[in-house]
Each structure stands twice: as structure tokens, then as C-alpha cells.
Amino acid sequence: MDNIRNTLLIASGKGGVGKSTVATNLALALARAGHRTGLLDADIYGPSIPTMLGEAERPRSADGKSIAPIEIHGLKVMSMGYMVDPDTAMIWRGPMLAGAVLQFVSDVAWGELDYLIFDLPPGTGDIQLSIAQKLQVTGAVLVTTPQAVALADVVRAKVMFDRVRIKTLGVIENMSYFICPGCSDRHEIFAHGGGEKAAADLGLTFFGGIPLEPVVRIGGDSGQPVVVSAPQSASATAFVDIAGRLDAAVSEMRAAEEREQGPRRRLQIIQ
């Protein structure tokens, strides 16, 4: 972890909100902005990163001690989906899942990274708690959709991160609206403004909304995420903009921490 400057947890209180799609495309957007970026698929039961980034050879170890991450589209990537056959069911208890994720941090030769993005499983279980207890985390980003049933889970996820003393940086609203490919009209299928309102109610930054476009699904299914396959699309543009805002928020937080630590260091020297 000494070589990794920032660790970001992409989380959601429930499944089905497109968290892995958001994590993958945000990581790609950060990498394309010049940041050394890694993507760790922490969803052991349902690893989806290999589908979204495309199949690859199994990770190898040159020295028998550390594992080399897979490199795709400028990202360093690790997922259980690259370690086992696709039809293998991971019938593991919680502590085993958490241990596997921690090994993906400690035993993978990530090298120097500006960002390591964790694609967390949904919910508030063993993996989230183990990461909070064992790793130094920069912050969490919550992914939601506009409807009320998803927004209620945002609150629960925020409470969980508060209790384990991980700062929640903000909220991203996925599937904010649908853009008709034929007429380009905007349709708000899952209501409107829920993610922004939830962020405001919780005192969090609203990083932005991602439109629902067919190119996102097509890119994710084909191993060519929308930031790579359709960089001029509305969705890709939204991901790039959100990645920029997220990077700015992290930089501002780091600068504030350094300003606070300065007086403490001077006081320690005096003492």
C-alpha cells in the first residue's frame, strides 16, 4: 500500500445499480487523464470485470511470491474471474472472501499507482468491514439510481462507512435518464434528481449523473467499455467529467490534510 497514493471504494447499498460499470469506466477515465490506475474486482461471488474488460490469460507469478496484474486499456487489473473457470461457483464463507480481497492487495505487484479503484460487492458485509479494518482508504463513492428503493440503500451504505470511519466522498447517479438513439430525446425512466437530493440530504458531493444508453450495455458485454468504444457518447463524456470532479475532490482533501498536519508536525518538533 505504500506505493498506492489513493484507494477509492466504489460501493452501493444494493445490487443492480451498475456499480461495476461505473467503477470500470471511472478507472479508465482516470487512466486516460494520465493517472496510474489499478482496478480491483472485490466482488468474489460475482466478478464482472472480466466481462467488461474482456477475457485475458490467467495472472502469472514470475518470482513465486507476487502476482503480476493483468494490463488492459492502460489499467492494471485483478479479479477472481481471471483466476478461476467461468463456471466455477465460489462457495466460500465471509472470512474467506475478505481474505482473498486482502491478498489481491498485498500479493499483487501493483507498482506505483495514483489510484487503486475497488469495485466492491453490494451491501455492507465482511469484505467492506475487512477493507475498512485492514487498509488505509482514501474514501468511498456511492452509486445509486434515481428511484426511491435504491436511494434508501444509499443512506444505509453511508451509515456503514461512517461507523468504520471511512470518508464518503460523494454520490454518482447511474441510469439517470434514457437517450433515445433514434430521436435523441431524453426520457427519465427511473424518476429524476433522486441521487442529487440524496447527496444534498446526506451532506455529500453529487458528482453527476450517467445517462442510460445502449452503447454502455454493448460496450460492457463486448469487453470494450463505453469510455474506450464510444468516447464521444454522452455516457463516456459523463464518466470523464465525473472522474475529473472526483480527482479534484481527492486532491482538495489531500491538500486539506497536509495543511492540518503542518501545525502538528511543528508542535511535535517544539515538544
- pLDDT score recorded for residue 241: 98
pLDDT surpassing 90 at residue 78: yes
Check: CB of residue 181 under 8 Å from CB of residue 235.
no
Q: In the chain, what percentage of residues exceed pLDDT 70?
A: 94
- pLDDT score recorded for residue 193: 82
CA 37 to chain centre: 11
Identify the bridge partners of residue 170 per DSSP, sorted by sequence position.
141, 205
Check: CB of residue 202 under 8 Å from CB of residue 158.
yes
User: Coil, helix or strand for 225?
Assistant: coil
Check: CB of residue 79 under 8 Å from CB of residue 50.
yes
DSSP string, 29-72: HHHHTT--EEEEE--SSS--HHHHH---PPP--SSSSSBPPEEE
- Distance of alpha carbon 59 from alpha carbon 62, whole angstroms: 10
- pLDDT score recorded for residue 134: 87
Q: Within 10 Å of residue 250's Cβ, how many Cβ atoms?
A: 18
- pLDDT score recorded for residue 46: 81
DSSP string, 169-222: EEEEESS--EE-TTT--EE-TT-SSHHHHHHHHHT-EEEEE--B-HHHHHHHHH
- pLDDT score recorded for residue 265: 58
pLDDT tens digits, 188-233: 887 778 889 889 999 999 999 999 988 999 999 999 999 999 999 9
The closest of 92, 101, 109 to 132, measured between CA atoms, is: 101
For residues 227-243, give the mean pLDDT.
96
Q: In the chain, what percentage of residues exceed pLDDT 90?
A: 54
- pLDDT score recorded for residue 126: 81
- Distance of alpha carbon 119 from alpha carbon 46, whole angstroms: 11
- pLDDT score recorded for residue 97: 80
Of 77-91, 137-151, 221-235, the least confident: 77-91
pLDDT surpassing 90 at residue 52: yes
Assigned C-alpha cell, 191: 424518476
Domains of the chain, with CATH numbers?
4-270 (3.40.50.300)
pLDDT averaged over every residue in the chain: 88
Of 129-138, 152-161, 185-194, the least confident: 185-194
Does pTM top 0.85 for this prediction? Answer: yes
- pLDDT score recorded for residue 121: 87
- pLDDT interval class at 268 (50, 70, 90): low
- pLDDT score recorded for residue 252: 94
How far apart, in Å, are the Cα atoms of 104 and each of 60, 68, 72, 107, 138? 13, 10, 17, 6, 18
Q: If residue 7 lies in a helix (H) or strand (E), which one and from where to where?
A: strand 4-11
- pLDDT score recorded for residue 122: 82
Identify the bridge partners of residue 172 per DSSP, sorted by sequence position.
143, 208
Check: CB of residue 145 under 8 Å from CB of residue 15.
no
Q: What is the DSSP letter of 168?
A: E
pLDDT surpassing 90 at residue 271: no
Q: Within 10 Å of residue 215's Cβ, how many Cβ atoms?
A: 18
- pLDDT interval class at 263 (50, 70, 90): low
For residues 48-52, give the mean pLDDT.
91
Burial code (b: 16+ CB inside 10 Å, e: under 16) for 170-207 equals bbbbbbbbbbeeeeeeeeeebeeebbbebbeebebbbb
